[in-house]
Amino acid sequence: GDSVTQMEGPVTLSEEAFLTINCTYTATGYPSLFWYVQYPGEGLQLLLKATKADDKGSNKGFEATYRKETTSFHLEKGSVQVSDSAVYFCALSPGSARQLTFGSGTQLTVLP
Partner 1 sequence: EPEVTQTPSHQVTQMGQEVILRCVPISNHLYFYWYRQILGQKVEFLVSFYNNEISEKSEIFDDQFSVERPDGSNFTLKIRSTKLEDSAMYFCASSEVQQGTGELFFGEGSRLTVL
Q: Would you count residue 103 as binding partner 1 (CB under 8 A)?
A: yes
Query: Cα–chain-centroid distance for residue 69?
Result: 18
Q: Would you count residue 35 as binding partner 1 (CB under 8 A)?
A: no
Q: Would you count residue 28 as binding partner 1 (CB under 8 A)?
A: no
Considering only 15-23, 46-54, 55-63, 66-74, which stretch makes contact with partner 1 by CB under 8 A? 46-54
Count interface residues toward partner 1 (CB under 8 A): 26
Instruction: Catalogue the E-assigned strands of the chain.
Output: 3-6, 11-14, 19-21, 23-26, 32-38, 44-50, 56-59, 62-65, 75-77, 86-93, 101-102, 106-111
**How near is the Cβ of 4 to partner 1 at its closest, in Å?**
8
Query: Would you tell me which residues interact with partner 1 (CB under 8 A)?
Result: 4, 32, 36, 41-46, 49, 51, 89, 91, 93-105
